[in-house]
Each structure stands twice: as C-alpha cells, then as structure tokens.
Structure 1
Amino acid sequence: MPHIRATVTDPDLPADTRRALAEGLTRLAVSALGKSAERTLVHLDLVPADRYWVGGQPLADGGRDAHLEVSITAGTNSAAQKEAFITGAHAFLTDLLGPLARGGVALHELHPESYGYQGITQFEHYRRN
C-alpha cells in the first residue's frame, strides 16, 4: 500500500496535469515496485514557488520543482526496484512538468507492524493473504 505524496511548486497546476501526475505515479508504483494500483494512494500538495526553497534560496520566479515522499512496507522491494522507481519518477516528472530545480524522491520503508490502513496493519494484511 504505497502512499505517494507529491509536492509540486505550482498551485495552479491544470486538472488534466494533476490527473496525469496521479495516474503516472500509480503506474510507476505498479511497474517498478510491483504494488497494487487499487491500494496505491497519491496525495498532491501544490505549493507556491515562494514557499519552496532550494539551497537556502526561494525557488526563482517561474521555476518549478517536485519532490516525492513514498511510504512503502519495509522488506517488500529490492534495491533494484527502488532504483527503478527513483529513476523512473525523475524521468516521468521532467517529461510531464518540464525541467525541475531538484526533482527529489524519498522512499520511506515502514515496518509492516507500524503501517496499515482501514484499521489493519500491513503485517496482518500479508498474514491473511
């Protein structure tokens, strides 16, 4: 059950681009990490550029950046799969959004006993299935 939080420096990102972003990140979670599309959540956080700083400086006017924070269950992906996701995410984001100031990706691996949804831990989900 990956939870993908995408922060993008464009509060006026068009609806079709928001949809493409959510759909593309979901597809990437499926193809690179082997996750279930139905259990993948994408949260878009659209912020003004003046609230986003790179190297201690506010992002220049007209500049754009994106950062992904992805929560996944620890031990469910190999180093190669995680690298494929990070590489694929960068390519996808720059193709969709254009050049990025930094374009970061952070994969957070959470222990299955400390992560879940609908009141069920990932540990219990895997035990049942």
Structure 2
Amino acid sequence: MPYIRATITDPDLPTTTQRTLAERLTALAVTALGKSGARTIVHIDMVPPARYYVAGKPLTGGLDAHVEVSITLGTNSAEEKAAFIAGANELLTNALGPLTRGGVALHELPLESYGYNGETQFAYYRRT
C-alpha cells in the first residue's frame, strides 16, 4: 500500500502530465516493488520554485522534483528498492526534462505503524 508523494517545482504542470506521472509511478510501484496498483496512492504536490530550496537558496532557473514513497518495512529487497529509485528518476526526467537534483526516497514503516482504511498493515497481512 504505497503512498507516493511527488513534489514538483512547477505550479502550472499540465493536468495531462500530472495524470501521466500518477499512472507511471503507480505502474512502477507494481513492477519494481510488487505492490498492488489498487492500493497505491499518488499525490502530486506542485510548488513554486521560490518555495523550494537547494543549498539554502530558492530554486531559480531550473525545474526539480522529489518523490517520497511510504512502504511497509521488510517487504522489499535492496534490489527492488534500487530498481524503483532508478525507474522513478528516469520517469521524472522523461516526463519533466532535465532536473536540478531529482531525488527519490523510500520510507519504510513498521507493520503496526502503517495502515489503510483504518486497518494496520500488521492486521492486513495477518488476515490475508
């Protein structure tokens, strides 16, 4: 049940590009991480470059994106996580063009600290 948040320094990102990113990030979660597409959430957060800082200074003269993914601890191998990170970077670059930094972070949360529809992942995995 990944929750994927993509922060992009373009407040005017076209809806078609947003949809494409959401669809492809979901597909990547399925193929690289083995997650359920039906349980994957993608949140696109578009921010003005003046509110996005690199080296303590507002971003100027470029575009950047950062993807953060919450997944359940211990459900993916190092190779799967590396494949997701590389794939997400390629996806962002293909969809948005050259990026200033382009970051991807996977946050692994313990089974009992992460849930969906009011049920912890611990309870979900026990039940299925």
Task: Confirm or deny that 1:51 pairs with 2:46.
Answer: no
1:3 corresponds to which residue?
3
How far did 1:48 drift?
Answer: 0.3
1:25 corresponds to which residue?
25
Question: Structure 1 residue runs of 4+, over 6 Å off?
Answer: none
Q: Secondary structure at the match of 1:68?
A: strand
CA–CA distance in 1 between the matches of 2:109 and 2:28?
19
Give a deviation string over 1:84-121, Cα, whole Å, max 9, x none: 00011001100000000110011000001110011100
Task: Confirm or deny that 1:39 pairs with 2:39.
Answer: yes
How far did 1:34 drift?
Answer: 0.4
Please, which moves more after superposition, 50-59 or 13-22? 50-59
CA–CA distance in 1 between the matches of 2:55 and 2:38?
37
How far did 1:26 drift?
Answer: 0.2
CA–CA distance in 2 between the matches of 1:105 and 1:3?
13
Gap regions ≥5 residues in structure 2: none
CA–CA distance in 2 between the matches of 1:66 and 1:47?
10
Q: TM-score, normalised by structure 1?
A: 0.97
Task: Confirm or deny that 1:101 pairs with 2:110.
Answer: no
Q: RMSD of the alignment, in Å?
A: 0.6
CA–CA distance in 2 between the matches of 1:30 and 1:119?
23
1:84 corresponds to which residue?
83
Q: TM-score, normalised by structure 2?
A: 0.98
Q: Secondary structure at the match of 1:108?
A: strand
